[in-house]
Structure 1
Amino acid sequence: MKHYDMCEALYALPGGVVQPRRKPVTVPMLVAIVGVVMLVLNSMIPAEAEYANLKSAVVLFGAVFVAVGVVICVVRFSGNSNSPWHVQDGCFLKKEELKFVKERSSHVRDLVRKGDFTTLRSLPDDGVSAVTVVIYSSPRSGFCAAQVFEYFDLELRPVDDVKIVQ
């Protein structure tokens, strides 16, 4: 079971609490439009020697904005990536990954089983991903889902089932 299987478990919750949904393309489109506006404004700047650096900067930033906006739009339109959407809150779930050393495995698993995510988040992050806790939480309500993963034979495997607190 991988991280995407955790999302599948969330999508299978009774009542359709969490559903897969594509992220909106409005922000990347706005970034691309700002880039186009910058390129149009560049054509309105007089072609004099004193404005050469300004024109170059406007073209550079405009082109970068257009490129970034278009690439993100293409990825969001053509990609098969869905993000977990909490229906009742009307927002995407925020994903966190907490990483701990192997020695903390039992303590971390106990905290997840109890649903004590505030204590879990307050633990110092060791930066070593021997034990990884993946948490999906709603920024608007108390909905939280977590699962503990450990490395076995160079593969990240789940240790427990998904714990959901509503």
Structure 2
Amino acid sequence: MGQFDPASLFLAVEIPDQFLYEREPLLMGLSLALAKGARRDRTMHDGDLIAALSALCTSYERLVSSGLHYEQTLTNIAQQTIASEVEAMLQQYREVELKHAGYSSLRDSDVLRALVFLVRMAYGRTSGRPKSRAFIDFLAAQFPERESAWVAPQEAASRIIMP
């Protein structure tokens, strides 16, 4: 992988192992949101995912440290798609928590840690090339598209293997 700024890994944010176990559903939900966003736009590359995640990390870092809501402007449509998928998933996660527990225990600092974890994982999985899709392929392998149990007759016939 090429050279990159160590600050892009948000090294000031600590992610204890216990956090990964306690917030596994959050991490899985965020990963699924990334996979869904990448599936919608086949022209997307790892750099788009990393840029969107980094922008979200910066916003949540500012929110956690100062309480200011500041959304970084994303000019790339692919990055906006990813950011909106992630925000929608976070909203849905909070609603489900509220429905089941009566309150939402998800703190902004937890969201920041989860996003930083995903940024670090993305940097670890990508090749660093401009058109790399290694991280996207990793996410797609973790969350494959469901195939329908119902198959059209012409599709069923094509699945038969003749000796």
Same fold, judged at TM 0.5 (above): no
Structure number with larger C-alpha Rg: 1
Q: Greater share of strand residues, 1 or 2? A: 1
Q: Greater share of helix residues, 1 or 2? A: 2
Relative to the length of structure 1, the TM-score reads 0.29
Higher RCO (C-alpha under 8 Å, 6+ residues apart)? 2
